[in-house]
Structure 1
Amino acid sequence: MPRVVSLFLPNWSTDRLRRKLGDVSPPPDRPLVTVGRHGNRRLVTATDRAAFEAGLRVGMPATKAQALVQGLVAMEAEPDADAEALERLALWAVRRYAPIVAVDPPDGLIMDTTGADHLHGGERLMLTDMVERLGQVGFSARAAIADSWGAAYAVARYARQTVSVVAVSTSHDAIIALPIAALRLPDAIIGGLRVLGFDRVGELLRQPRAPLTLRFGPELGRRLDQAAGSLAEPIEPVRPAEMVEVKRAFGEPIGAAETIARYVGKLVHSLCAELETKGLGARRLDLLLCRVDNRVEAIRVGTALPVRDVKRLTRLLCDKIETVDPGFGIELMRLSAPLAEPLTPRQSISSLIEQRDADISDLIDILGNRVGEERLYRFTPVASDVPERSFRRVAPASAETGDAWPDHWPRPARLFAVPERIEAIALLPDHPPASFTWRGIRRRVKRADGPERVFGEWWKRDAELAAVRDYFQVEDEAGERFWIYRAGDGEDAATGSHRWFLHGIFG
């Protein structure tokens, strides 16, 4: 079942202008509209959020908008620049999210993410990442994923949630409560339907199709079927001009998994030859399989490091062949590297003297393409004495920073994400607990070491100006070792609550 994402940018034109103007752009709370000429009239062509909330709408005369909102900023519309920027955004999405991305003018993108969401931790995490990344650079966005272009388009623009995931085979149920404007129909048809009393998509779906087609033509039925997912809608993907790509057409359609795998190997060999001439290695590969029924199946795989090893890349792609539905046959295969980075060849040295580091990038690639790149990570040190801030997650194959954890005090093998409250009996201020109760079990301390005092990072938060923690390593009668701390120095209430917490377990 295909999965299609609609990315909706409700304030695309005004957000792009604000980003273009930079420091001299109007304040975010000041209404901004773009104005264009329609015949002899000057009309509002786009509004930002503040202008929309002030009651301004697209199509309103510019003079009326300025009369209604005091201090309105009206700028000349730049439709060509908006379209060009949307095309660049589509190319960015190709490299990052999905092999099949198309522009959905004037304010959106459409993507076929079938078989690609696992690289981002699942559909919801992928959509959330899209919206958050665009928000960080000043673009408001909404995203939805469904079985069809029509359903994803409708939900992205008319559902209440910023991120919406429509479950497989539920597109019909997801659109029935949406307004008829969600069907991508011409304004004349929408106006005619409203005259007849239709307001929601579900009302149209319950009506006999023949009278509606007789009155409004075939466009209405086609859009209803596309939104419900019963009629396929091809997506013509954008392709970067500089992207390395090879293809193979077949006189007779192919469909057997063994045949597909054989031609995948040939395409990978050709692609690696092209990459070698440019001194590049693939970080991401897209295999597009064009079926005879005008549908496209896609496989996307990623690598931790730049690669142009034919055997390795072929194995990654062939692992995903079982997800492909060849239908009545595949007539064209395209293999591209939307993300490629410089790869310099290494000189071979005699194995008698060469010390090679263990290379686990192949294993990382296999696991990453099976469970998702976002689920693979390692920890790297961060300069902080506060235990929960002394590390961060990085990609498994990221370069070493040279930093190391301090070794003057041992650290537990298991550190809790959130320290757990315990009840302890101890002499203040510097003695370790004689016993403590954790998760309902009382443990008598047999051995202890400490305290190790950790001070708050006052330059991050004012509340940590006087905060301290006293950490102890303790061992109970059963030989289990724990890392516990007291919040505060045991004397001054300003340094902490003097409550005890368990932060980690040794061994």
Structure 2
Amino acid sequence: MDEKRRVAAVWLPHWPVERLYRADRRTRGKVQAPKAPLALAAPGQGGVRVTACNRTAAAAGVAPGQLVPDAMTLCPGLELRAADFAADRAALKRLALWCGRYTPWTAVDPAGIGEEPDGLMLDISGCDHLFGGEAALVADLQKRLHGFGLTVRVAVASTPGAAWALARYGTAPAFILLPGDEAAALEKLPVAALRLDDATVDGLMRLGLKRAGDLYGKPRAPITARFGRHVAQRLDEALGFAREPISPLRPPAPFRARGIFAEGLTRTEDIEEAVRLLAGELCRLLAHERRGARRLELTLFRADGEVTRLFAGTAAPSHDALHLARLFREKLAQAGDDFDAGFGIEAAMLAALATDTLAPAQDRFDAEGADAEALAQIIDRLGARLGHERIVRLEPRASHIPERAVVSVSAVRGATPAMRGWRAQVEEQMAAALAGSLARPIRLLARPEPVEAVAEVPEGPPRIFRWRRVTHRVTRAEGPERIAPEWWRRGERRTRDYYRVEDAEGRRFWLYRDGLYLRDTEGPRWYLHGVFE
């Protein structure tokens, strides 16, 4: 058993019904739980059955699993509503995400095999000291969930199985089990506390094995032969002899900073200041590990149990606290009136979801290093304001065809080996220009546009061409610059002859003839590919 591991199991015995009160309170203000008996029902084996009920109905004898006619006989004034399992699961998942204020390792905990979930599982290992100990953490969790109008039972143990059993079958609404006491605590609990299905529980009870302690020391071979391996497995998991992992809803970030506020933050300025402090703490962690943040997540926990998440990315690894805080300032400003702090932000967490190694860089006497950092920061700010998918840069590709020579990539992706080939490509073009090759326009059309052209000789430059219903008379022409497709592209055999031409008004264009007269079966066609500024 890992005695350093501590797991908190949260059970919400009246969750589906109390979720309705919670939804009503959010939309119409404070709504008290009705004193009249209320139950939820859904189709089941043999007819419509009760799935959940409130305390008043339970006091009258109504219980989950009963047929509705039987429940109505026990409680004639019972109010029935249709169960909505999908809404219950979605709301419980949001509640589990809200519990991320206590630990990043949270998950929805099922009630049992084949049943709808009605609880949460929190791995609080190493987190309790942030709240003053396990008892203080459990008390704070219970207080806040009670404030949401939920009935809650919490148990803390070294294994998920023991915590689950004590939360549902223990006698206290809050229980903290010391490491190593699992066997004594589970000994007198019913075998159902081992998370076994109803058929297995009934079979064990017929054999006289009514409590978990009755299984201690019993030969496992006969039990396994009759009920399967899951009985021994569940017992070993609860006692700590077998490892039971918890799969969190969201993978925990290795670098994160969190803050809890005595009073809820409602003003945007206060939230921005809190983010700045969290960014400073996070960047100290990153700098210690020589890492830079590439993708960040800001989680704001509202007092009403809702969670708001904001994301930001960086073009280059960074542990500049002011820069990272400025990105979320842009996010908050972009949200504007759509950002709702509710009754206040009571906790916040800033996490680096993705990081890169930030190698030490030698200071330079020129401005190249500073310019690169400033460019990365302006890309980050534009991406936070406009969206990173809208900030792109051009990256060279190994192709002589102009429209294939570059491709748009995300500017946040950072430099790639192809990006570092820009200098060689520019030097190659400059050498070609000095050697007498034709200069190319900086601005190209999105795709070559067909034109009607007339040339004096078949293989010569155009003298008149018509583009976008406007006729241009060519006074000067340079070329051709012949470009052939790559040899491995078998479907493309047509050769292009590019010309740089100037019309009578002094406007310059970049045209090409697609195909050769004597070689290609189809006649050559003319296209305009770019315009010189």
Superposition TM-score tier, normalisation by shorter sequence: 0.5 to 0.7
Does 2:83 align with 1:220?
Answer: yes
1:479 Cα shift? 0.5
1:319-340 Cα deviation digits (max 9, x unpaired): 2224331101111111100111
Q: How does 1:400-479 map to 2 (within 5 A)?
A: 400-403=419-422, 404-405=425-426, 406-407=428-429, 408=432, 409-460=438-489, 462-464=490-492, 466-479=493-506
Q: Using the TM superposition, give the Cα deviation of residue 476 of structure 1 relative to its aligned residue in structure 2, in angstroms.
A: 0.3
Amino acid at match of 2:379: I
Shift of 1:264: 1.1
1:162 is matched with none
Q: 1:457 to 1:240 in 2, by over 3 A?
A: same
Structure 1 letter corresponding to 2:480: P
The aligned residue for residue 94 of structure 1 is: none
Matched, 1:483 2:496: no
The alignment status of 1:358 with 2:375, answered yes or no, reads: no
Shift of residue 189, structure 1, vs aligned partner = 8.9
User: How much identity, in percent, do the aligned residues show?
Assistant: 37
Alignment map for 1:189-200 (pairs within 5 Å): none
Aligned to 1:167: none
2:299 corresponds to 1:273:
no
Q: Is the 1:454–1:469 contact (alpha carbons within 8 Å) kept by the matching residues of 2?
A: yes
- Tell me the amino acid that sits aligned with residue 297 of structure 1: T
Alpha-carbon distance between aligned partners in 1 of 2:276 and 2:322, rounded to the nearest angstrom: 8
Q: 2:274 aligns with which of 260, 263, 267?
A: 263
Contact 1:287 1:333 in 2 (8 A): yes
1:259 and 1:355 mapped to 2: Cα distance? 37
Query: What are the ranges of 5 or more consecutive residues in structure 1 without an aligned counterpart?
Result: 1-184, 194-210
Aligned length: 299
**Cα distance in 2, alignment partners of residues 282 and 224 from structure 1:** 36
Hey, what's the Cα distance between the residues in 1 that align with 2:250 and 2:291? 18
After TM superposition, list the pairs within 5 Å mapping 1:17-56 onto structure 2.
none
Secondary structure at 1:445 match in 2: strand
Alpha-carbon contact 2:482-2:495 (below 8 Å) kept: yes
For 1:220 and 1:498, the matched residues in 2 are separated by 71
**Structure 2 gap ranges (5+):** 1-40, 50-68, 73-77, 98-247, 433-437
Residues 261-340 of structure 1 aligned to structure 2 (within 5 Å): 261-322=272-333, 323=335, 324-340=339-355
Question: Per-residue deviation at 1:395?
Answer: 3.6
Deviation string 1:363-416 (CA, Å, 9 cap, x unpaired) is 111011111212112212222111111112234342432241542231112212
Shift, 1:474, TM fit: 0.6
Q: What is the aligned-residue RMSD (CA, Å)?
A: 3.3
Q: CA deviation at 1:191?
A: 8.7
Of 165, 174, 188 in structure 1, the residue corresponding to residue 44 of structure 2 is: 188
Structure 2 contact 298–311 (Cα < 8 Å) conserved: yes
Q: Which amino acid aligns with 1:444?
A: R
Change (3 A) 1:242 1:302: closer
Q: TM-score of the superposition, structure 2-length normalised?
A: 0.51
Deviation at 1:429, TM superposition (A): 3.0
1:398 to 2:415 alignment: yes
Note closer, same or farther for the CA distance 1:187–1:478 as it changes in structure 2 (3 Å cut). farther
Aligned match for 2:519, one of 470, 474, 492:
492
- Give the conservation status (yes or no) of the 8 Å contact 1:283–1:304: yes
Matches of 1:264 and 1:308, distance apart in 2: 14
Q: Does 1:342 align with 2:371?
A: no
Give the distance between the partners of 1:502 and 1:219, measured in 2 at CA: 66
How far the C-alpha of 1:304 sits from its partner, in A, is: 0.3
- Residue type of the alignment partner of 2:456: L
Aligned amino acid, residue 299 of structure 1: L
The Cα shift of 1:424 comes to 0.8
Distance 2:94 2:282 in 1: 30
| 1:240 counterpart residue number | 251
Q: 1:367 aligns with which of 366, 377, 382?
A: 382
TM-score (norm 1): 0.53
Give the Cα–Cα distance (whole angstroms) in 1 for the partners of residues 515 and 47 of structure 2: 69
- The answer to whether the 8 A contact 1:430-1:451 is kept is no
